[in-house]
Structure 1
């Protein structure tokens, strides 16, 4: 496994790889590190279908708001490298901030996410967050020039906005959505789960249970969004539900679900920990 810390070394490798292996494919797995089984599933998906897998590990400052502590975000360099090496990753790109943002902030080119998709739900209280996400993702796409890039469905809003950017800018790559990874009891994996007590974990299981209840209702033929939300909220009764919405892939509220274009998003706070989950239908 090779580790690159500068954009120049990465670009040199990419140029050589593409000139020497014109038929081989590159898969990119963008991460902010602190890797867990969810990230590993993205890496394994890339290793399965691509000839060369590149994992980026970069805590991106431009997606952090004023009240979000960029410096406190967990950084586990040695553990992350061990996971990548054990999985069989060919390249890890681990740059410093100065490599990704070499100019003063007032001289940098910025990028705006589509407002209708970026200023709702997660973006409602994190103004500018998705602008920063797209800025760094586009930089990575331009540096790596991947054939495929792998993102988890758990961060549904992020995934949809990145897909929209690729479509709008005619970027020559495929975004590969990967399933949510859960533990044996159904809880969606997240680094935030570590902050929960055993009692909190038990409560958190009601989140996936609410989505399972919705799935069963849909299988019974229920398509009304109001009724499906009522069913989910009944399971979540007593918990602090920040939002539970049923939307299309443009993140617009819908009254009736439609197959292959519906997303049910839920955010619940348990013991002060903000937990996300969703159901793609």
Structure 2
């Protein structure tokens, strides 16, 4: 694997590869890698000649300073995990804050046609400005042909698609299925911080989503939402922040179901001070 910390060196290396007709896939991460990330990398390797994996904890997308400080930083372990893929076509970009932002760490303001105000945007002020800023900068540095994102962060995936559309960026965005542990918990870098008790209870999130999907076949969105809220009040260790059934195109909560639209259920839950999100397609 090639390993870069400097954007100019990386850009020059990737440009040389593209000059020789190679295609470039891109998997942006914040590190603390797990099997979900590896699934994105492997898909990228199947569809491209080389894959760039960025490892960068982006400060501008954290609205909670404590969350930023506690976010796991495990670069050596991440590199070791990527080596298990056994493919020398992987290129690592692990920059510093200065390499990405220079002397001023600040978000650009974005308008994503309202997608940024729903769900995560309502609970994490400025989050998607930070996401848009880092993803746009990384696209400009890497210049990938394809970029791969997991559907666990489905709202983020839709916003990045909108970013590419609005800014006419020459990259194809590919959403990949949620990678889950055997008990159903969506894989996340934050899972490593769960206490044993919270880790034991966390699969309740996905089990509830599965039941909500079944109920949505015959009941209204409001009825399903009320049922989910009741289940979490009984649960004990896990605290529900939100459960929303939304139109996947607009991400706005559904008021009345339509057979012409596609819906998804979105959930955010606190396990102690660890915030977990998940979602599921409903139709």
Aligned to 1:184: 182
Q: How many Å apart are 1:69 and its aligned residue?
A: 4.8
Aligned to 1:266: 267
Note the alpha carbon deviations across 1:48-97, whole angstroms, 9 max, x for none. Answer: 21111110011112212363453432211111111222212521011111
Contact residue 110 and residue 135 of structure 1 kept, 8 A:
yes
Contact residue 207 and residue 236 of structure 1 kept, 8 A:
no
Q: How many Å apart are 1:260 and its aligned residue?
A: 6.4
Aligned to 1:228: 224
Aligned to 2:245: 246
Contact residue 264 and residue 279 of structure 1 kept, 8 A:
yes
| Residue 43 (structure 1) aligned with residue 41 (structure 2) | yes
Decide whether aligned partners of structure 1 residues 69 and 207 sit closer, same or farther in structure 2, where only a CA change above 3 A counts.
closer
Q: What TM-score do the two structures reach when normalised by structure 1?
A: 0.89
Structure 2: where are the runs of 5+ without partners? none
Q: Which moved more, 1:4-13 or 1:187-196?
A: 187-196
Note the alpha carbon deviations across 1:189-212, whole angstroms, 9 max, x for none. Answer: 223323334432332222111111
SS at 1:193 equivalent: helix
Contact residue 27 and residue 40 of structure 2 kept, 8 A:
yes
Find the aligned partners of 1:75 and 1:139 in 2 and give their Cα distance. Answer: 21
Count of matched residue pairs: 275
| Residue 212 (structure 1) aligned with residue 213 (structure 2) | no
Find the aligned partners of 1:31 and 1:175 in 2 and give their Cα distance. Answer: 15
Find the aligned partners of 1:186 and 1:66 in 2 and give their Cα distance. Answer: 27
Residue number among 136, 139, 148 corresponding to 1:138 in the alignment = 136
Find the aligned partners of 1:204 and 1:259 in 2 and give their Cα distance. Answer: 33
Find the aligned partners of 1:263 and 1:241 in 2 and give their Cα distance. Answer: 17
Residue number among 124, 127, 138 corresponding to 2:125 in the alignment = 127
Q: Which moved more, 1:230-239 or 1:185-194?
A: 230-239
Contact residue 154 and residue 278 of structure 1 kept, 8 A:
yes
Aligned to 1:194: 192
Contact residue 149 and residue 173 of structure 2 kept, 8 A:
yes
Aligned to 1:277: 278
Contact residue 113 and residue 130 of structure 1 kept, 8 A:
no
Contact residue 149 and residue 174 of structure 2 kept, 8 A:
yes
Find the aligned partners of 1:280 and 1:13 in 2 and give their Cα distance. Answer: 39
Q: What TM-score do the two structures reach when normalised by structure 2?
A: 0.88
Contact residue 29 and residue 149 of structure 1 kept, 8 A:
yes
Contact residue 71 and residue 190 of structure 2 kept, 8 A:
no
Q: How many Å apart are 1:269 and its aligned residue?
A: 1.9
Decide whether aligned partners of structure 1 residues 257 and 56 sit closer, same or farther in structure 2, where only a CA change above 3 A counts.
farther
Decide whether aligned partners of structure 1 residues 202 and 86 sit closer, same or farther in structure 2, where only a CA change above 3 A counts.
closer
SS at 1:95 equivalent: coil
RMSD: 2.2
Residue number among 167, 170, 185 corresponding to 1:169 in the alignment = 167
Contact residue 224 and residue 257 of structure 1 kept, 8 A:
no
Contact residue 26 and residue 51 of structure 2 kept, 8 A:
yes
Describe how 1:22-171 pairs up with structure 2 within 5 A.
Answer: 24-65=22-63, 67-87=65-85, 88=87, 89-105=89-105, 110-114=108-112, 116-171=114-169
